[in-house]
Amino acid sequence: MWQSDCIWCLKLLLFLFVVSHFGTHGRQQWPVPYRRFDSRPDVDSYCEALYPFCPTGDPDGRIPSMKDDDVISIYRLQTPVWEWKYGDLLGKLHIMHDAVGFSSLETGANYTMEWYELFQLGNCTFPHLRLEMKAPFWCNQGAACFFEGIDDLHWSQNGTLEKIGEISGSQFNDLAQWVQDDNRTGIYYETWTVLSDPGPNATVWFESYDCSQFVHRTYRKLKELGAKLSSRSQTNYTKIYLYSGEPTFLGNDSDIFGQPALKNLASDIRRFYYSFRPHQSFAELAVSLLEAFTDVVLDKSFYLFYNFEYWHLPMKPPYMQITYEEVPLP
């Protein structure tokens, strides 16, 4: 008697919580805004980088200050991460990594600026299931890396190295301040963009937060600071899409994994992520994606972790797609 009352009570509380989550701001806002933090928390020591993050950058993330009247050139940088034949299902994956380059007329020094995962793509896309923990554990931080030098060959041989504009030293210094604020408040990597359908009028449920989104934010900031950007070629970027009906909010770790009443949901989420265990390389990730793809298609169900909260996606065809599409310069 007491126990069932208690469970009923918890369910009611959860229901009220869900209602208030949607109720207080009227309708749910789409896309769900990416959450900004006051500061970047320390990384949990469980997460281990296979390759050190930003090995040649300043350890404190400092960006050198330019003379106000210096002329700084801006470069668009792009290089393939991986090219993979995904059977006949999706065709050739065109996975590119994006960055921005700068060079100073005054000193002749040049710099590369990019935003990427601290613990590789697999760890940002899927969590670890740890025996001692109920909730899936994420090593999903991403951050900006600014370092001296542009490796011309690396970018130009199979990708792009193109000058797209110029700014003054003082504009560059303003940009540097913005990069540091952006880096402090935007702390986690999000692989997926979630859309209602592949058509031109699709609703965007969730935006990704990855290297190319950082490049787009940087270009928009440069424009705001007065830069004129232009490219002679088409500016295409890799996007990884999921397609689903309207997502349902589920809650954060303590809401889901701390509630006995929700143990079925909790174990379903763990079961779901079991097939998506993070692997070491992108190649292995691609293979396990293909395996897990079948589950997603059969169950039409996906659990998305966004802003450190879980959402349920009622998946629909074509379920998942990787595209390389144009995003014009601002």
Ligand X SMILES: *[C@@H]1O[C@H](CO)[C@@H](O)[C@H](O)[C@H]1NC(C)=O
φ, ψ at 61 (rounded to 5°)? 70, 20
Contacts of 133 (CB under 8 A, 6+ apart): none
Nearer to ligand X, 37 or 46 (CB): 46
**169-185 and 211-224 are packed helices; what angle lies between their axes, rounded to 10 degrees?**
140
Nearer to ligand X, 78 or 123 (CB): 123
CB of 104 to ligand X, least distance (A): 10
Nearest-angstrom CA–CA distance, 140 and 121:
8
Residues found near ligand X in the complex (CB under 6 A): 40, 46-50, 53-54, 57, 61, 63, 75, 101, 103, 110, 119-120, 123, 128, 139, 143-144, 146, 150, 152-154, 157-158, 179-180, 183, 199-201, 234, 236, 252-255, 278, 280, 324-326
Alpha helix stretches (DSSP H) within 126-280? 152-156, 169-185, 211-224, 253-257, 263-274
Q: How large is the greatest C-alpha to C-alpha distance in the chain, in angstroms?
A: 79
CB of 298 to ligand X, least distance (A): 28
CB of 2 to ligand X, least distance (A): 25
Annotated catalytic residues are 97, 211
Nearer to ligand X, 220 or 294 (CB): 220
Type of residue found at 62:
R
Contacts of 177 (CB under 8 A, 6+ apart): none
Residue, CB closest to ligand X: 61
Nearest-angstrom CA–CA distance, 139 and 117:
9
CB of 275 to ligand X, least distance (A): 17
> In the chain, what is the straight-line distance between the N-terminal and C-terminal CA atoms, in Å?
63
Q: Using DSSP, state whether 3 is helix, strand or coil.
A: helix
Nearer to ligand X, 235 or 244 (CB): 235
Nearer to ligand X, 170 or 236 (CB): 236
Centroid of chain to Cα 175: 21
Nearest-angstrom CA–CA distance, 124 and 140:
4
Nearest-angstrom CA–CA distance, 188 and 138:
10
CB of 94 to ligand X, least distance (A): 6
CB of 267 to ligand X, least distance (A): 19
Nearer to ligand X, 245 or 297 (CB): 245
Alpha-carbon separation of residue 295 from 40, 264, 301 (angstroms):
35, 18, 8
